[in-house]
Structure 1
Amino acid sequence: MTRQPVRACAIRIGGRQRDGSSDGEPEMDRTLEMAKSRRAMLRATLAVGGVAAMQGAASALLLAPSARAQTGELSTLRATAKSWLWAAEDYASSRGMFERAGLRVRMAATERGVNQDALLAGATDILLGAPTQNMRVQIRRQPIKMICGMVNKYASNIVIKKELADRAGVTEASDPAAKGRALRGLRLGTTGVGAGPDQLIRYVMRLGGLDPDRDGQLVPVRGGGPAMLAAMQNNQLDGFCLSSPTSDLAVQRFGAVYLFNMSTNPPPALADYLYITASVTERTLREKGELLTAYCKGVAMALEAIKKTPDDFKAWSKEWFTGMEDQLFETSFVNNIDIYMATPVPTQRHFELNMEFLKDELRLTNQPPPPESYAFGDAWDLRFVEAAMKA
C-alpha cells in the first residue's frame, strides 16, 4: 500500500477556508513531550496550529485568552477551532450552561489530531477527542481517564468521485459490503495511519472482503479539509474520509458522492459508536473533582437542549459558523444534528466497539494488543458524570 503523504495546496471556498476535521496524525508530538514548562507547552501546541494555518489549513485559533485553570475555571483543548464535533461544548459555553453549573471554561485549539501529550504535560485540564486515542495511552499505563461523552456517531464520512461510484454501480443507499468493494484500487485520503478516518476506511474495505494493505492506496494528507479538497481537485485522490462540512463541500462542488454518510447512513454495527469524549489526567481527577462535575453538568444540559430545542441549536450554529453559505449550512446541519448523545454517559458497548478499532490499529502498527485485564473501569471514571446526571 502507498502511504506517501500528500501535501496539497489549500483552496479557498466562498472567501473562507473551512475544515470540520478532528482526526489527525496518530503519532505523539515529540516536541511537546520535551517542553519544560506548562507555559512552554501551550506555546508549542499553538505554534503547531500556526504552521498548519500557513500551509492553508483552518487557522489554529486560541478561543480564550488563557488556557490556565483558575479558581472556578477549567481549560479545554481540541484539535480544531470550530467543528460540529465540539459544538456541544461551544453551545454550552455560549448559552451560559457552564456558568449555571458554576464553572467558567477556557477553550483552545491546536490543529493537530492527537493531543494526549499536551494533556499529560498539564497544558490543559480537559481534552476532547476520540476514545481510542485515550485508550492507546492508557494501555501504556499513562494516567488518563475519560469522564463523559458527547458524540456517538463515527462522524468521519467517506466520499469518492461520482464517476467511480457509477462505474462500480453503487450509491449511498447500496449494501455496505458493495460499497466497501467499490474502494478497490482507489487512492483515498486520510489524516494519518491509525487515525479515525484511516481506521474507518479499513473497516469498510474489510466489509467488502478487501485487504486494505493490498487492495487500495491510503494516502495521508496534511492540511485538513482544504488540502483534501485540493488533492481531489488536482486528481491526487479518488476520494477521502473526513468530517462535515468538508465532505459536504466535496459533494456539492467537487464532483463527489457520499459512499458512507456516517451520521445518516452508517453501517449498522456503527449506529451507536462513541466518537468524541472528554478526558483528564488522574491528577485533575483528584484535585478538581467538583469542577469536573460542573463541566459534566454543562455538557449534559447542552446535549439535552440539542435534542429538545433543535431550532435554538440551529440558530446558534448558524451564528457560530459565520461565513458558511446558506446551502452548505443547511446540508451540514441536517448531516450533524443527530450525531450527539442523548446524555453524556457512556456504555459498556461503546467501550467494546472502541476496543475493536483499537485492536485493529495496534495490529496495523505492529504493537502488542491491549492487556486482557484492560476493562471499562480502566478507561472511564464515571463519578462526575453520574453526579451531574443526579443533579
Structure 2
Amino acid sequence: MLHRRAFMSLAALTPLALRAATARADEPFRITIAQPSEGFLYLPIYAARGLGCFRDEELEMEVTVFGKGAAAALTSVIGGESDIYVGLPAVPLQAWAKGQKTQLFAALLKQCGSDIVLSADAARRTGLGARRTPSEKAQALRGLKIAVAGAGSITDLVVRHVAIHGGLDPDRDLTIIPIGGGGNMIAAFAQGRVDGYCLSAPTSTIGIVKFGGALLFDFAKGEYPPLRDFLFTALSARPEWLEANRGPAVRLVRALARAMETMRTHPDAARAAIGPFYPGVEPAVLDAA
C-alpha cells in the first residue's frame, strides 16, 4: 500500500515529471532538438553526436533541422513538438516578451557564426577589396540580392544588422531573399540568381573554395565589432520541461562540454566525428571550414 505522503507526492507531479519518473531506468532519455538550419554554427552538437558524448550520458538525441529559420524551430518548442531550441538568443527573448515562455539555460557559441559571402562579380562591382572600415564594407550590400535561410532567421537578422550598420535600410536598399537551407543557397549562388548569401560554414566555405566568392567580413576573427564576443547561439526550453527534466538537461550540457573540449584538444578526432554528417561535402571544403 502506498504511504499517504508518497501518494500525495505522486499526485503533485506534472505530466512531464510523471513521464520522466516512470521512464524505464535502462532506456536512454530521449531529447528532441529543434535546429533552424544546417552548418558549423551547431558544430558542438554534431561533434557530441559523432563522438558518442550523448550516448555516454545515456541520452538519445533526435535533431530536426527546420531550414525555414529560427522562428519555426522555436515554435515547435513552444508548441511541445520539440524539447530544446538551439539558435540565436534574441528569438526566444522576443517570444518571451510576447508571453511565450522559454528559458535560456546554456551558451553554445560566443562569436558570430554566420558568414556573408559575395560572388566574385559582386565583390568586383562594389569595390569590396578597397573598402577598409566595417561601415564601408557594410555599405557594399547596397543594391545586392542576398539569400538568407528564412524570414526572422539568424541569417536574416545578421544581414539586416550589417546593412543598418552601413546606414542602409534593409527593406529598401537591398533585396533579402528567404530561400531555405544551404543547398538552395549554393544553387542560387552558382546560377547567379543572387549576389550573395548568409550562412555558416561549410556552406559559406563552398562559395569561396568552389565558386571564388569573398567574405564580406570574417566574423570569427572579430572583423565586425558590433558582433565581436557576442552570444550567438544558446539552448533554451520551456520552463516546465527544464523543471521536470533537470537531470537530463545537465547531462546534455555536460556532453556538449566534452565535445567542445575534444574539438579544442583533438581536432582531428572531432573532424572525423562530424564527417558522416556532411557526406556530400568535399574533404578540402571541410578542412577549410
Alignment TM class, shorter chain as reference: 0.7 to 0.9
1:145 aligned onto 2:103: yes
Shift of 1:285: 1.8
**Aligned 8 A contact 2:41 2:201 in 1:** no
Q: Partner residue of 2:59?
A: 104
Corresponding residue pairs, total = 263
1:175 aligned onto 2:136: no
CA distance in 1, matches of 2:247, 2:271: 31
Q: How does 1:1-391 map to 2 (within 5 A)?
A: 70-71=23-24, 72-79=28-35, 83-101=39-57, 103-112=58-67, 113=69, 114-171=72-129, 174-221=132-179, 223-332=180-289
RMSD of equivalent CA atoms: 2.6
Q: State TM-score, norm by structure 2.
A: 0.81
Task: State the secondary structure of the residue aligned to 1:277.
Answer: strand
Amino acid at match of 1:123: E
Runs of 5+ consecutive residues of structure 2 not aligned to the other structure = 1-21
Q: State TM-score, norm by structure 1.
A: 0.61
Task: State the secondary structure of the residue aligned to 2:252.
Answer: helix
Larger helix proportion, structure 1 or 2?
2
CA distance in 2, matches of 1:219, 1:185: 13
Q: Partner residue of 1:47?
A: none
CA distance in 1, matches of 2:107, 2:59: 19
Change (3 A) 1:169 1:151: same
Task: State the secondary structure of the residue aligned to 1:163.
Answer: helix
Task: State the secondary structure of the residue aligned to 1:211.
Answer: coil
**Aligned 8 A contact 1:172 1:258 in 2:** no
| CA displacement, residues 52-77 of structure 1 (integer Å, 9 cap, x when unaligned) | xxxxxxxxxxxxxxxxx955513122
Q: Partner residue of 1:369?
A: none
| CA displacement, residues 159-215 of structure 1 (integer Å, 9 cap, x when unaligned) | 112233223322398321121111111111123333222221222222222222332
Amino acid at match of 1:228: M
Amino acid at match of 2:171: D
**Aligned 8 A contact 2:46 2:274 in 1:** no
**Aligned 8 A contact 2:36 2:153 in 1:** no
Amino acid at match of 2:59: R
CA distance in 1, matches of 2:233, 2:270: 19
Task: State the secondary structure of the residue aligned to 2:219.
Answer: coil
Task: State the secondary structure of the residue aligned to 1:290.
Answer: helix
**Aligned 8 A contact 2:147 2:185 in 1:** yes
Shift of 1:99: 4.2
CA distance in 1, matches of 2:203, 2:38: 12
Shift of 1:82: 5.2
Dislocated runs of 4+, deviation >6 Å:
none
CA distance in 2, matches of 1:210, 1:82: 28
Change (3 A) 1:155 1:70: farther
Runs of 5+ consecutive residues of structure 1 not aligned to the other structure = 1-68, 333-391
Shift of 1:313: 1.4
**Aligned 8 A contact 1:155 1:262 in 2:** yes
